[in-house]
Amino acid sequence: MPPDPAVTHDLDDIWNRLQAALRQAVPDSTYEIWITPLQPVGFDGEVLALEAPAGIRSLVAQRFGRLLDTTAAALLGPEVTVEVQSSTPARGKQPAGRGRGTDAGADRDRRRAERTDGTRAVVPHQSQPDPLNPKLTFEQFVIGDANRFAHAAALSVAELPGQAYNPLFLYGPPGVGKTHLLHAIGNYVRRYGSGLTVRCTTVERFTNEFLGALHGGHIDRFKATYRRNDVLLIDDVQFLEQKAKTEEEFFHTFNALYDTGSQLVLTSDRLPRDLDALHDRLRERFEAGLVADITTPDPATRMGVLRKRAHHDGLTLPDEGALEVIAQRITTNVRALEGALIRVVAFASLEREPITADLATRVLDTLYPQARKTVRIDMEQIQDLVCDAFSITREELLGSDRSARVSWPRQLAMYLAREHTDATLPAIGRSFGGKNHTTVMYACRKTAERLATDPDALATVDDLTRRLRADRQD
Binding-site members for ATP are 175, 177-179
C-beta of 141 vs 415, nearer to ligand ATP: 141
Tell me, residue by residue from 322 to 351, as one string, x for binding to ligand ATP by CB under 6 A and - for no binding: ------------xx--x-------------
Least CB distance from residue 378 to ligand ATP, whole Å? 29
Look at residue 384 and give its three-state secondary structure: helix
Min. distance of Cβ 346 from ligand ATP in angstroms? 16
User: Does the CA dihedral 293-296-298-300 come out positive or negative?
Assistant: positive
Closest approach, Cβ 335 to ligand ATP, in A, equals 4
At its nearest, how many Å lie between ligand ATP and the CB of residue 171? Answer: 9
Site string for ligand ATP, 234-273 (x = CB under 6 A): -----------------------------------x----
Minimum distance from residue 311 beta carbon to ligand ATP (Å): 12
- For residue 140, the surrounding DSSP H or E stretch is none
Residues 122 and 110: their CA atoms lie apart, in Å, by 19
Minimum separation from the CB atom of position 136 to ligand ATP (A)? 6
When the beta carbons of 134 and 174 are compared against ligand ATP, the nearer one is: 174
* 3-state secondary structure at position 277: coil
Query: Does 178 sit near ligand ATP (CB under 6 A)?
Result: yes
Give the residue, chosen from 176, 213, 264, 345, that forms a contact with ligand ATP under the rule CB under 6 A.
176
**Nearer residue to ligand ATP within complex by CB, 107 or 338:** 338
Between the alpha carbon of residue 306 and those of residues 193, 288, 356, 371, 435, the distances in Å are: 30, 36, 14, 18, 25
Residues present in the chain in total: 474
Sheet architecture: strand order including 47-53 = 39-43, 47-53, 81-87
**Does the protein bind ligand ATP through residue 185 (CB under 6 A)?**
no
Q: Tell me the H-state helices in 288-333.
A: 299-312, 321-329
Q: What are phi and psi of 49, to 5 degrees?
A: -95, 130
Binding site, residues? 175, 177-179
- Which residues in 288-317 contact ligand ATP (CB under 6 A)? 305
Task: Using CB under 6 A, pick the residue from 8, 24, 179, 207 that binds ligand ATP.
Answer: 179
**Which of 40, 175, 193, 272 forms a contact with ligand ATP (CB under 6 A)?**
175
**Cβ-proximal residues to 391 (8 Å cutoff; 6+ apart), any chain:** none
The answer to the question of residue 148 lying near ligand ATP (CB under 6 A) is no
**Contact range with ligand ATP by CB under 6 A, out of 53-61, 136-144, 240-248, 284-292:** 136-144
Residue pair 45/74 in contact (Cβ under 8 Å)? The answer is no
Report the alpha-carbon distance of residue 170 to residue 181 in Å, rounded.
9
Q: DSSP readout, 45-113?
A: SSEEEEEEEHHHHHHHHHHHHHHHHHHHHHHH-TT-EEEEEEE-TT----PPPTT-SSHHHHHHHHHHH
Min CB(30)–ligand ATP separation in Å? 15
Among 14, 75, 132, 142, binds ligand ATP (CB under 6 A): 142
Q: Which is nearest to 154 in space by CA: 183, 133, 192?
A: 183
- What's 132's DSSP letter? S
Residue nearest to ligand ATP (CB): 177
Given the rule CB under 6 A, which residues bind ligand ATP?
Answer: 136, 140-142, 147, 172, 174-180, 269, 305, 334-335, 338
